[in-house]
Amino acid sequence: MNDDLNFKLSAASRKDRSENPDRQEESLDLVMSEKGLVSAESQRRLSSEKEIDDIIGQFSGMTTQDLTEAEETPEVEEIPVYEELPQEVEETPVYEELPPVVEETPVYEELPPEVEEIPVYEELPPDVEETPEQVELPEVEELPEAEELPEIDETPAEDSAQETPSDKMLDSLAFDSLKGKYDFINLSILTVLVVFIGLTFVFMKQTRDENKTKFSIKTLSSGEYSSYITEQYNSDLPMEKLMTQAEVVIKHLFGASDLEFVDYSTKEPPDGPVDDDTADDMAIADDPVSSETVTTTLPETTTSSGTTGKIPQSFDVSKADDPAESGDNVFTGRPIKTTTSRVTTTLELPKGTEDTTTKEVIFDYP
């Protein structure tokens, strides 16, 4: 039985080895144990041949029939026994020290200097203008009328007009980057403008040390110090002449203005907040008060003594409650129609006249 068993095992082992050539040197016992089958010793304890056949069948995938067929094979190969190979010992290689590498600078032979050879061209024959031969053109027959072509529908096909989602995404990304670029330009320009004007107002101010308010908790809590700062800021603003000239230019931009001939400054009430506190200021009052200071050079006039002289005049036009009075303006000759204007002026007569006192004249001025 043991011989049979050994035979069967050897047949199974041959099969296994044929399938797994790497395992040719392994012992049968090792193979068996790896396959999960019983060990060599325990298989000797098995009593029934069938059990052994089943085990071997599991091992080799061979059925009982296969095993019996294998038994009939006359040839028996001896399982070679291999000696254990000595363990390989890795020896660290010892290298001899190489001589240092010396870079040799190459020595080149001096090349002869390049001589530019001036190319010699053959003389080309002179250009001869050939008069073209007049060729007689054949008579052209009248072409038949072209057939009317069918109208081409210029509307793009639906498929080509539809953008794909990726196209839309690309377009939006391109637009976002463009927008970001111009946002940056806009912000830079406005920031530079604000900072420049702010710094100009601070560093180029015309300092005046009138009624300086000291910083203290009392002045701060009462609002006195902040009022002082505001007054100082507003009164010390620089470049007055430049701003006046700029105002003339801007007023021309806003509309036709006569500032070239008449120089006046109109003080209008400052812009107030449009909230419940001052919304009634937006309503028109019954008697809007405005004051104008007009300075103008008047034409020459005759005085009481007969001598002529210019009388520079300045008058303050302030609207009062009195009704309008009509009359002629002694200076311009225009008929006066005024609403509620009353002008008070002082006329200073030229020297040399009998009466050198100032006279106060009250008249209405449009």
End-to-end CA distance of the chain: 147
Q: Which is nearer to another protein, 131 or 177 (CB)?
A: 177
Contact predicate 312/298, CB 8 Å? yes
Contact predicate 66/73, CB 8 Å? no
**Amino acid in the structure at residue 4:** D
Q: What's the length of the chain?
A: 366
Please report the beta strands in 120-250, taking only residues with DSSP state E, as ranges in sequence order. none
**Amino acid in the structure at residue 245:** Q
Q: Which is nearer to another protein, 44 or 337 (CB)?
A: 337
Q: How far is the CB of 296 from another protein (least distance, A)?
A: 16
Contact predicate 317/284, CB 8 Å? no
The span from the CA of 343 to the CA of 348, in Å, is 16
Q: How far is the CB of 163 from another protein (least distance, A)?
A: 13
Q: How far is the CB of 193 from another protein (least distance, A)?
A: 6
Q: How far is the CB of 286 from another protein (least distance, A)?
A: 7
Q: How far is the CB of 240 from another protein (least distance, A)?
A: 6
Q: Which is nearer to another protein, 109 or 277 (CB)?
A: 277
Q: Which is nearer to another protein, 227 or 358 (CB)?
A: 227
Q: Which tokens go with 215?
A: 């910083």
Q: How far is the CB of 363 from another protein (least distance, A)?
A: 18
Ramachandran sector of residue 226 (left: φ over 0; alpha: ψ -120 to 50; beta: rest): alpha
Q: How far is the CB of 297 from another protein (least distance, A)?
A: 21
Q: What is the DSSP letter of 308?
A: E
Contact predicate 32/41, CB 8 Å? no
- CB-hemisphere CA count at 13 Å for 31? 24
Q: Which is nearer to another protein, 20 or 339 (CB)?
A: 339
Which residues are 346's β-sheet partners? 360
The span from the CA of 51 to the CA of 15, in Å, is 20
Contact predicate 353/305, CB 8 Å? yes
Q: Which is nearer to another protein, 48 or 221 (CB)?
A: 221
Q: Which is nearer to another protein, 65 or 226 (CB)?
A: 226
The span from the CA of 28 to the CA of 78, in Å, is 12
Q: How many helices (H) and strands (E) does the chain have?
A: 10, 9
The CA-based diameter of the chain, rounded to the nearest angstrom, is 172
Q: Which is nearer to another protein, 215 or 233 (CB)?
A: 233
Q: Which is nearer to another protein, 194 or 361 (CB)?
A: 194
Q: Which is nearer to another protein, 227 or 301 (CB)?
A: 227
The span from the CA of 70 to the CA of 63, in Å, is 11
Q: What is the DSSP string of 79-128?
A: PP--PPPPPP-PPPP-PPPPPPP-PPPP-PPPPPPP-PPPP--PPPPPP-
The span from the CA of 8 to the CA of 182, in Å, is 90
